[in-house]
Amino acid sequence: MGNSETDPGFSLAELAARVGAAVQGDGACRVSRVGTLENGGPDAIAFLANPKYRALLATTRAGAVILAPADAAATDLPRLVGQEPYALYAKVAALLHPRAPDAPGIHATAVVGDGARVDAQASVGAHAVVGARAVVGARAVIGPGAVVGAGASIGEDVRLHANAVVYDGCVIGARTVVHAGAVIGADGFGMADESGRWLRIPQVGRVVVGTDCEIGANTTIDRGAIDDTVIEDDVKLDNQIQIGHNCHVGRHTAIAGCVGIAGSTRIGRNCKIGGAAMINGHLSIPDGTIIGGATVVMHEIEQPGAYSGSFPALPYRDWLKVSARLRRLDELADRVRALERALADRGAG
């Protein structure tokens, strides 16, 4: 079997058996890393998922490629073939570039509070903090400087990267990854206006994150005001996302970077939300909805589908012209109505 010091990498046949793909060409071809079609060398396996890069199959130096059946005849290179080449690539990359295991144990500079339970197989890094009564599951990794609040629960095989913070009482499900600087369970933005003065409303809910999720660097998820903020299983969140208090994100939803979601919004399952989209509070978005990048969602979405509200980029001078015309739409509408009335009066006469 491959991936040893004396026999690095895997044969294509071995990879095919592990990832559920078909082999075409030389199944004995060995690869030890992933690479791109443009820059991969003879020891690399590349992939084609976007037709835009199909021409690179003719010039690539990669030793093998991953392709969809429709592209399999476009090259004589040894190849793995499957209906979802990008997913196959993800599996192959995980086999060729496995993460080094973390040594279990608690670093001498870490702080573990009274009554906390840290599994013997877990790893707690330098200057990390595990609060009182918190639970850290088997093979979980609490990175350097990360903080697990009092009474929080960290599931098996969870990884908190450096300086991630999980506030008191919050729950992180098994195999979830929380990247550096993310904050899970900070207070939601709950304020009451009393005669020109803001009164802070205690936020007494939690954040409950399901299994197999990924939370990007510097993403923040606010704890619920009363009930919990919930992130269901297999949700993938990019970097620098803001999710307000009492939101509910359905399983297998993916949200790209810099999205802002105001409080008490419910996002269904299997949704895809593009980068920098802004979603108003107290809305529902149905299962299977796709929201384009930079779209502003101000009202309830009742039917699943693809929605976009962003204006495509234009050359600057063209944009100035379009902007000027848009500002005159009210004037134009008034003139059209006046003409319609004049024509109607003439017809009546």
Kindly list the catalytic residues: 245
Round to whole Å and give the CA distance between 253 and 249: 7
Amino acid at 158: V
Q: How far is CA 69 from CA 48, 63, 66, 122, 242, in A?
A: 11, 19, 10, 43, 40
User: Which residue, among 232, 236, 296, 294, has the nearest Cα to 269 in the 3D structure?
Assistant: 232
User: Cα dihedral angle (332, 337, 340, 345), rounded to 10 degrees?
Assistant: -140
Q: Hey, how many other C-beta atoms are within 10 angstroms of the C-beta on 326?
A: 10
62: Cβ contacts below 8 Å, ≥ 6 apart: 35, 36, 37, 40, 41, 42, 44, 45, 46, 77
Give the pair of three-digit tokens for residue 349: 């006469």
Residue 330: half-sphere exposure toward Cβ, Cα within 13 Å: 1
User: With contact defined as beta carbons under 8 Å apart, do 276 and 293 qualify?
Assistant: yes
Tokens 């994150």 label which residue? Answer: 209
Residue 222: half-sphere exposure toward Cβ, Cα within 13 Å: 23
Give the pair of three-digit tokens for residue 180: 């550096």
Round to whole Å and give the CA distance between 140 and 118: 9
Sheet containing strand 165-166, edge to edge, reads 111-112, 129-130, 147-148, 165-166, 183-186, 220-222, 242-243, 260-261, 278-279, 296-297
Query: φ, ψ for residue 138 (rounded to 5)?
Result: -60, 135
